[in-house]
Amino acid sequence: MAATRPPVGRTVLLSKIEERLRVGDAIYDLSTNQYPGAIHPNGYGYLSEFRLDPMPTFVYRAGNVLLEKTVFMIQGENSTALRYRLLNNPETDVRLELLPLIAFRDYHSLTHANPSLNREVQTGPAWCAVRPYEGLPNLFLNHDGGAAQSGGDWYHNFEYEEERARGLDYHEDLYNPFALWFNLRERAACLIASTEVRDAGSFEKVREAEVRRRQDLVQDWEASDGFVRDLLLAADQFVVRRGEDRKTVIAGYPWFTDWGRDTMITLPGLALIPRRFDEAKRILCAFAEHCDRGMLPNRFPDAGEPPEYNTVDATLWFFQAIYALVTKTGDYAFVRQRLFDTLVDILRWHLSGTRYNIKADRDGLLRSGEPGVQLTWMDAKVGDWVVTPRRGKAVEIQALWYNALRILEHLAGKYQDLETEQLCADLASKACASFNGLFWNSQAGCLYDCIENGRPDAAIRPNQIFAVSLPFSMLPVERMKQVVETVTRDLLTPFGLRSLSPKDPGYRGFYGGDPRRRDGAYHQGTVWAWLMGPYVTARVRANGGTSEARREAAALLTGLRDHLKDAGLGTISEIFDGDPPHAPKGCIAQAWSVAEVLRCIVEDVISDERKLT
């Protein structure tokens, strides 16, 4: 899957490779496909072992032959490397036939047989290349001593069970342009599928380089818990290049691009905890350059259209990310030179008013929203139906706004900008008083979720946890404890926080079905793993940061530790069902899930990242 305009323009070039092993006169089809009413071939029956070491490695037993397949992607390239090698030395001839099946489609679409496909195959001394459609890159199958044979067949009606379950198109046709043959008795079969010519004979060299690269990512964490090291490796997968010299964050695999909100939330865990400070700065600069009317982009569209600014919180999370940077690095000079003016401009726009009625109210709190638009992170929308509109004054927006004011006050003081410092101090004090007066639900012992035109929404949602977890809290300690107790009682699961209390009539405990059913449950009870981060921070803080509080917090993360061996191996899913057993759903690898769990372990459970046990 190539990013033709990094990090977007992602295109599925090579969908899969059909694998057939000939051992003497016997033939073993190692592939497995689902077709209408049939599974064919049954290659899974030959699979005897799978492991991550650290690359995905499969071992097949076919007759008296043991065949090992290793696959991994090469860092910084649109390249995937594969190697097939014998693990024993059979006396019979062993030949491997590989039939690449190509799709050449956008990653949100499926391919179907069509006459416009260009069937031409170009060949070189150790490669075969195809480019079936104009406007897409070449796909090179670089091989190490294989014998090429022309093909030209469509494989029809592959079925994708996950797409079927999600109410999407789930049938696809794939095209086989040629075949490659290898004599495995002579040597291992190595391939590099790429958008460029590569030396497939360098497989072992690039594999060793990737192993060293991963070792380097965790070399300062050798004394840490294995969970931390696993999360550091998972975190690395989301930081990618935008353009020539900027960095950004992919929100989730396989289908998200880089989102402003997700990027700012994840930056502490993905870049600052691993001490990738230069990358953190490049990410912040990339988004600051696109700040418009005091707002950060919510999303950069795949097709290169102008950025979308339909979010109230991405810009406020920007302040949090910058504060985390200076807290970790002390690099106030960089923030003064590259980011401070942008922060001041954001404040001015939020005071005077910007898109979507985002404006500070007379009570010092921030209001936002208009009909038909979803601006908070609870942003599910089906057609004209905004599932959780949360217009007016949402609780986490007030917490973020207050923190933005305190952070800008702190920075302005550092830079001797006395006017901005005083303005922020006055606004923050006003917001704090108004917040405690308007948002406290004394009957439930927690915070209202949203207030629109003076009408409070008493739904028990996790958004209130940010009023405790963010660096500057507007709540007295006793109210902090009550918020944590309510969230623990109604929302906590082994994998994160429910997005709505099961006691609520609107609760949906199962996430599945067609898009309308899924989006209708997305923030109506579905569990979000990333919320475990702020929950742990809030719980430890409300309980005084004691050793006992940290031990309790560590125990809460056992479910997510075990989850690394489930769903997307070595990473954390986007969401889980609200009802037990809380099956993982959504993206199999979600940036803020990984980032926030990693951050809270290091900052709130371990406390001192140099004293890891």
- Give pLDDT tens digits for 147-196: 888 878 999 999 999 999 999 999 999 999 999 999 999 999 999 999 99
Question: Which strand (E) or helix (H) includes residue 420?
Answer: helix 418-438
**pLDDT single digits (tens) 490-523:** 999 999 999 999 999 999 999 999 999 999 999 9
Q: Which of 153, 179, 213 is the last residue of a domain?
A: 213
Residues 358 and 452 in one domain: yes
Does the pLDDT value for residue 305 go beyond 90?
no
**pLDDT single digits (tens) 108-119:** 999 999 999 999
pLDDT (0 to 100) of residue 303: 60
Q: What does the chain come to in residues?
A: 613
Alpha-carbon distances, residue 319 vs 261, 365, 429, 441, 558 (angstroms): 11, 17, 18, 28, 31
pLDDT (0 to 100) of residue 245: 76
What is the domain range of residue 287? 227-606
- Lowest-pLDDT choice from 156-160, 166-170, 418-422, 592-596: 166-170
Tell me, yes or no, whether 220 lies in a domain.
no
Closest CA to 10 of 286, 380, 258: 258
Q: Which of 213, 244, 260 is the last residue of a domain?
A: 213
Q: pTM of the entire structure?
A: 0.94
Distance, CA of 212 to CA of 274 (rounded, Å): 16
pLDDT (0 to 100) of residue 611: 38
Q: Provide φ and ψ at 332, rounded to 5°.
A: -70, -25
Residues 204 and 325 in one domain: no
Count of domains for the chain: 2
pLDDT (0 to 100) of residue 613: 30
What string of H, E and C letters represents the secondary structure of 11-39?
A: EEEEEEEEEEEEECCEEEECCEEEECCEE
Tell me, yes or no, whether 613 lies in a domain.
no
Does the pLDDT value for residue 576 go beyond 50?
yes
Tell me, yes or no, whether 219 lies in a domain.
no
Max intra-chain CA distance, the chain: 85
Q: Are 179 and 98 in contact (CB under 8 A)?
A: yes
Residues 486 and 564 in one domain: yes
- Lowest-pLDDT choice from 239-243, 316-320, 337-341: 239-243
Residues 462 and 569 in one domain: yes
Tell me, yes or no, whether 594 lies in a domain.
yes
Q: Which of 153, 185, 213 is the last residue of a domain?
A: 213
Residues 393 and 531 in one domain: yes
Neighbour tally for 66: CB within 10 Å: 17
pLDDT (0 to 100) of residue 301: 63
Does the pLDDT value for residue 85 go beyond 50?
yes
Alpha-carbon distances, residue 601 vs 492, 537, 541, 606 (angstroms): 17, 9, 14, 6
Distance, CA of 487 to CA of 490 (rounded, Å): 5
Residues 333 and 447 in one domain: yes
**pLDDT single digits (tens) 459-487:** 999 999 999 999 999 999 999 999 999 99
Give 612's pLDDT tier (boundaries 50, 70, 90): very low
DSSP reduced 3-state for 114: coil
Residues 237 and 186 in one domain: no
Residues 173 and 33 in one domain: yes
**pLDDT single digits (tens) 19-71:** 999 999 999 999 999 999 999 999 999 999 999 988 999 999 999 999 999 99
Q: What is the mean pLDDT of residues 123-139?
A: 95
Residues 191 and 279 in one domain: no
Question: Who's near 248: CB < 8 A, 6+ residues apart?
Answer: 7, 239, 240, 241, 242, 258, 263, 283, 286, 287, 300
pLDDT (0 to 100) of residue 150: 84
**pLDDT single digits (tens) 340-360:** 999 999 999 999 999 999 999
Does the pLDDT value for residue 134 go beyond 50?
yes
Give 304's pLDDT tier (boundaries 50, 70, 90): low
Residues 253 and 389 in one domain: yes
Q: Are 167 and 515 in contact (CB under 8 A)?
A: yes
- DSSP secondary structure code for residue 426 in this structure: H
Q: Are 67 and 28 in contact (CB under 8 A)?
A: no
pLDDT (0 to 100) of residue 583: 97
Give percent of the chain above pLDDT 70.
98
DSSP reduced 3-state for 97: strand
**pLDDT single digits (tens) 187-246:** 999 999 999 999 999 999 999 999 999 999 999 887 778 999 999 999 999 999 887 778
Tell me, yes or no, whether 218 lies in a domain.
no
pLDDT (0 to 100) of residue 307: 84
Written as six digits, the tokens of 361 are: 């109210």
Burial classification of residue 581, based on how many CB atoms lie within 10 Å of its CB (0-12 exposed, 13-18 middle, 19 or more buried): exposed
Residues 173 and 283 in one domain: no
Residues 115 and 235 in one domain: no
Q: What is the mean pLDDT of residues 555-565?
A: 96
